Amino acid sequence: MPEAVKTSHRSGPLEVTNPERIPAKRYYDEEFYRLEGENLWPHVWQMACRLEQIPNVGDWVEYSNLGKSVIVVRAKDGVKAYHNACRHRGVPLAEGHGNCKGQGFICPFHGWRWNMEGENTFVYGRHMFSEEQLDKRDLALRTCRVETWGGCAFINFDNEAPSLRDSIGPVADRIEAHGMGKLRSEWWYATVLPANWKLAMEAFMEGYHVMRTHPQLQQAAPMLYNSMYGMDTGGIGVPIDPNLDTKGNIKAQIKHLELLSQGMAGMVHAKEVEIARQLADVDLPEGDPQQAIMMWFGMLNHQIGEQLRARGEAVPDLNAVAVSDPIHAVEFIFPHYFLLPMFSSMSSYRIRPLGPESCLFELWSLTHVAEGEAHEPPVEPTILPYDSDQFPAIPRQDYANIPIQQKGLHAEGFDFMRLSKDVEGLISNYNRIIDGYLKGVPAEKLAVANQKLGGNFDGKILDLGF
């Protein structure tokens, strides 16, 4: 067991002892927040940057979380990461993003320098220091563990932790089969939410909230959501018309895709909606609406692939990967990264804690770009107030709920959240993995449990093995 991962008896009162009940204080208790900072975040794989942010040799970007800062750089022999501190007096060497191919990283305090390989190249007034203070190996920047996957660089402060692949599990290959590594960002937004980082994530761990939070989706495709969460819509949403013909059902599906595109961009891209509209009047057999819609989506997958590949986009065979590598509408990469795939594009989220009741929430729209086509990805996020009308509709609706939920958790007598064992299991499962880190469960067991989160969106409460 890594030395820093130790059992904390103080976390006991807030531990999840009933998997269907999550103690409310976990979302605002300062001591619990401190324990997460000590025993969780230093031992997990954190999404540090998108690789398209550092496309050229020498490109670098700073990633920070809970007071720890890392420089991720595209070196000559691949992506590397360094702890962001001058080896002289500890001043951070870099902030934001840039390219160090020329002068390297220069300390703003005394001008000491390092190259992209982490080697010290200049010490001002070298003759004034003892030789033992300037040993080449000791003076080199301290490396931080880094691995790449899905078009991103992930860092881990724990050199003994299982690998990124061992932590994510088979879902990594399934997502990659859908072309994740070849996607490019169109836009990147960020906001500060007045809510605990876990609470912000849990809004995206189930679709049970769609009926009330996103009524436009429920109304466009009531059969879809009612079949998953029950026929009682509470008066929200149009009733299901059993006499609706196939073309009527197709038009309803297109409307649903339009709303998803307007609301989330990357999850359903505008170019995919345009292809769907081309199939509004296709002839499909009547009699079994569900079978007809399945056939229509198969046609849509085929056309999206065919037409976008013809444009030069590296889109996989969507029907084939749906069978060989099925993935869910939301995939959670523990502890703080989400992917939302549907056809050829995706949305992604990253959440970082800023305090017991504050977090930084970032979201990207990701899509394929034709080979050779000029594309300038955003190098930094557009930061907006969480209630800004510049956010797409769906996250804006979620952001309306999350801050008031944070307030509600403080209500007298509200001791725990009660979860559905059938569709809110992911919330329970990842919270209990957090407990595993706080209690010092062996890293290998935590990695096995972590793998169970792949495909767990709208899933059941699971036996995590510890």
Q: Which residues of 202-218 are buried (b: 16+ CB within 10 A; e: fewer)?
A: bbbbbbbbbbebbebbb
Which residues, in sequence order, are bridge partners of residue 68? Answer: 65
User: Would you place residue 9 in the very low, low, confident or very high pLDDT band (cuts 50, 70, 90)?
Assistant: very low
Among the listed residues 105, 28, 15, the one whose alpha carbon sits nearest the alpha carbon of residue 353:
28
DSSP state of 279: T
pLDDT in the model for residue 290: 79
First to last CA, the chain: 15
Count the alpha carbons within 13 Å of 453 in the hemisphere toward its beta carbon.
30
- List of E strands, 96-172: 97-99, 105-106, 113-114, 120-122, 145-149, 152-156
- The two structure tokens encoding residue 159: 């050199």
User: What is the Cα–Cα distance from 75 to 184, expressed in whole angstroms?
Assistant: 21
Q: What is the pLDDT of residue 352?
A: 98
450 Ramachandran zone, left/alpha/beta (phi>0; psi -120 to 50): alpha
Residue 237: band (very low, low, confident or very high) from pLDDT cuts 50, 70, 90: very low
Read off the pLDDT of residues 83-116 as tens digits, 9 standing for 90 and up. Answer: 999 999 999 999 999 999 988 999 999 999 999 9
Least confident of 181-190, 230-239, 344-353: 230-239
| 63: CB partners within 8 A, 6+ apart | 46, 48, 49, 69, 70, 72, 155
- Mean pLDDT, residues 256-274: 92
**Stretch 213-225: mean pLDDT:** 78
Average pLDDT over residues 123-141: 96
Give 240's pLDDT tier (boundaries 50, 70, 90).
very low
281 pLDDT higher than 60: yes
Instruction: State which amino acid sits at residue 427.
Output: I
Q: Looking up tokens 């590594």, which residue turns up?
A: 181
* pLDDT(264) > 90: no
Assess contact for 188 and 380: CB atoms under 8 A: yes
* Cα–Cα distance, 427 to 21 (Å, whole number): 10
Q: What is the pLDDT of residues 293-339, one digit of tens each?
A: 899 999 999 999 999 999 999 999 999 999 999 999 999 999 999 99
Is 337:47 a contact under the CB 8 Å cutoff? Answer: yes
Q: Are strands 337-341 and 331-333 parallel, antiparallel or unpaired?
A: antiparallel
Distance CA 24, CA 39 (A): 20
Domains identified in the chain and CATH numbers: 17-43+173-203+328-451 (3.90.380.10), 47-149 (2.102.10.10), 210-324 (no CATH)
Find all residues with CB under 8 Å of 43, minimum gap 6, and list them: 2, 4, 5, 156, 157, 158, 161, 437, 443
Tokens 């999404």 found at? 47
Residue 411: CB partners within 8 Å, gap ≥ 6? none
Predicted local distance difference test score (pLDDT) of residue 1: 38
- Please answer whether residues 109 and 92 qualify as being in contact, where contact means their C-beta atoms are separated by less than 8 angstroms: no
Alpha-carbon distance of 393 to 362, in angstroms, equals 15
- Region of poorest pLDDT, from 154-158, 236-240, 324-328: 236-240
Question: How far, in Å, are 222, 274, 279, 320 from residue 284 at the CA level?
Answer: 21, 20, 11, 21
What does the alpha-carbon distance between residue 122 and residue 236 come to, in Å, rounded to a whole number?
67
Output the pLDDT for position 214.
86
Give 391-440 as a DSSP string. S-HHHHHHHHHHHHHHHHTTSTT--EEE--TTTSHHHHHHHHHHHHHHHT
Residues pairing with 46 in the sheet: 155
Average pLDDT, rounded, for the chain: 92
Q: Which whole number is the average pLDDT over 375-386?
A: 95
Q: Write phi, then psi, for 160 (nearest 5 degrees).
A: -100, -5
Helices and strands per DSSP (H, E), number in the chain: 15, 18
Q: Which residue's entry shows tokens 């001002």?
A: 124
- With H, G, I as helix, E, B as strand and everything else as coil, classify residue 361: strand
What is the pTM assigned to this prediction? 0.92
**Cβ atoms of 71 and 84 closer than 8 Å:** yes
Q: How far is CA 303 from the centre of its chain?
A: 28
- Output the pLDDT for position 132: 94
Return the pLDDT at 249.
Answer: 85
pLDDT above 90 (res 224): no
pLDDT confidence of residue 35: 96
Q: For residue 345, give the nearest of 267, 429, 293, 242 by alpha carbon.
A: 267
